[in-house]
Amino acid sequence: MIAIFAVLDGFDLGVGIIHLLVARTDAERRVLLQSIGPVWDGNEVWLLAGGGTLFFAFPAAYASGFSGFYLPLMIVLWLLILRGIAVEFRNHIASPVWTAFWDVVFAGASALLALCFGAALGNVMRGVPLDANESFFLPLWTNFRIGPDPGILDWFTITLGFASVAALTMHGALWVAMKTRGELQTRAQHVASPAWTIVVLLTVALLIIVPLTLPRFALRYADRPWGLIFPVAALGGLAGVKVLSRAGRDPAAFLCSCVYVLTMLAAAAFGHYPYLLPAISGAQSGLTIYSASTSSYGLRIGLLWFIPGLALAGSYFLFAYRGVAERLDTKT
C-alpha cells in the first residue's frame, strides 16, 4: 500500500518539484497540472488507505508511531493541506499573481513532502527510543547523530530525505517527458538527466551506508542472500532509465523508474523485516509485525474485504488513467 503510494503519488510529487523549473509559462504549468489533475487526489488516497490499513492491522504500531512522530506528522498534514488546495484552487482565478502564488506553494510543499517522506522512512529504519509502554516522543532534531538520543533529523534520515527528493524529481521528470511533447518534454528530459546522476550517487551511497550503520540489515541480508535481488533490481532499474531515455523510449524509462522506486522500498522492507518500529535503546527490541498486529479474526476478515475492495479501486483507477493516457502539449 505504501509502495503503491510511493510509485503513484511519487510522480505527482515529482511533478510538483520540477513544476517551476520545467514549465515557464502559465499554459505550460497548466499542462503539467493537467497531467496529474485527474489522478493526484486518487493517488493521495493510497496514503490514507495505507494509514487506515496500518490502523486496523497493526494498531499498536499506529498508536506508537503516530504519537511519537507527532511534530513531523503535523508538518506533513499542513503540507498536504497546502498542496491540495494549491492544485485545486490555482485555476479558479485567472490572475498572474494568484496562479504564481499557488505554483510556488505547490512546488514548495511537494519538495518538502518528498523530503519528509524520505526522512520518515529513515526514522522507521533507524528505530526509536521506545519506553515500557511502547511509546516515545522524538524532538525534531538533537545532535544529528544516530545515538541513544536521536531526533527526527539526523545525518542518516536527512540523507534518505534528499535521496527521496532526488528520486522523485527524476520520477516526476520522466512522467512529464512521457506525457508531453515539444519544449516541455525537452526541458523535462534536461531535468531528469542530472537528477539521474544524483540518484545513482545517493543510491550507491545508501547501499553502503545502510548495512554499515544498521547491522540488522547486514545480518538479514547475510542470512537470506536471495533478498539481494531487490537492491540489484533497483540498480538495474536505474540503468534502464538511462538507456531507455537515451533511446527516446519515455514510457519504458518511466516504467524502469517505477521499478527502481518499488525495489528500493522492497529492499528496505526486506532488511527491516519483521520489525515495524525497532527500538533504538531500552529493554524492548521493538514492535514487530507479530507483537503489533490485531487479532487473527480481524486480520482474516480484513483481508476478505480488502482484496475485492482493492480490485474495485483498481478498476476505477484504470478508468481514470485511461482518461489521461494521451500526450498533452500546450498547442493541442
Partner 1 sequence: MDALTVDRIHFAFTATFHYLFPQLTMGLALLIVVLKTLAIRTRDEHYDEAARFWGRIFGINFVLGVVTGIPMEFQFGTNWSAFSKAAGGVIGQTLAMEGVFSFFLESTFLGAFLFGEKQLGPRLHWLAAFLVFLGSWISGFFIIATNAWMQHPVGFALNNDGTFRLTSLAALLTNPWAIWQFLHNMMGAMVTSAVAMAALGAFYLLIHQFEEFGRTFARLGVIAGLIASLLMVFPTGDRQGRNIARYQPVALAAMEGLFEDQRGAPLAIIGQPNVGARKLDNPIVVPDVLSFLTYRRWKAEVQGLLEFPSDQWPDNIPLLYYAYHIMAGLGTIFIAVFAVAGWLLYRGRLYDTPLMLWALMLLAPFPYIATTAGWMTAELGRQPWLVYGLMRTEVGSSTRVSVGNGLFTLIGFMGMYAALSVLFLFLIYLEIQRGPGGAEHSGPQAALAAAD
- Applying the rule CB under 8 A, the residues between 10 and 29 that interact with partner 1 are 27
The reply on whether position 100 binds partner 1 by CB under 8 A is no
- For 330, other C-beta atoms within 10 Å of its C-beta total 17
The stretch near partner 1 (CB under 8 A) out of 68-76, 151-159, 174-182, 260-268 is: 68-76
The reply on whether position 243 binds partner 1 by CB under 8 A is no
The reply on whether position 102 binds partner 1 by CB under 8 A is no
Give the per-residue contact string, 37-66, with partner 1 (x = CB under 8 A; - = no). xxx-xx-xx--xx-xxx-xxxxxx-xxxxx
State the number of binding residues for partner 1 (CB under 8 A): 71
The reply on whether position 290 binds partner 1 by CB under 8 A is no
The stretch near partner 1 (CB under 8 A) out of 152-160, 200-208, 274-282, 292-300 is: 292-300
Name the β-bridge partners of 277.
287
The reply on whether position 92 binds partner 1 by CB under 8 A is yes
Q: How far is the CB of 326 from partner 1 (least distance, A)?
A: 11
According to CB under 8 A, which one of 6, 13, 22, 31 is a site residue for partner 1? Answer: 31
Q: Which residues contact 299 (CB under 8 A, 6 or more apart)?
A: 57, 293
The stretch near partner 1 (CB under 8 A) out of 70-78, 164-172, 191-199, 266-274 is: 70-78
Considering the complex, state which of residue 51 and residue 236 has its C-beta at the smaller distance from partner 1: 51
Give the per-residue contact string, 120-159, with partner 1 (x = CB under 8 A; - = no). -----------x-xxxxx----------------------
Name the β-bridge partners of 287.
277
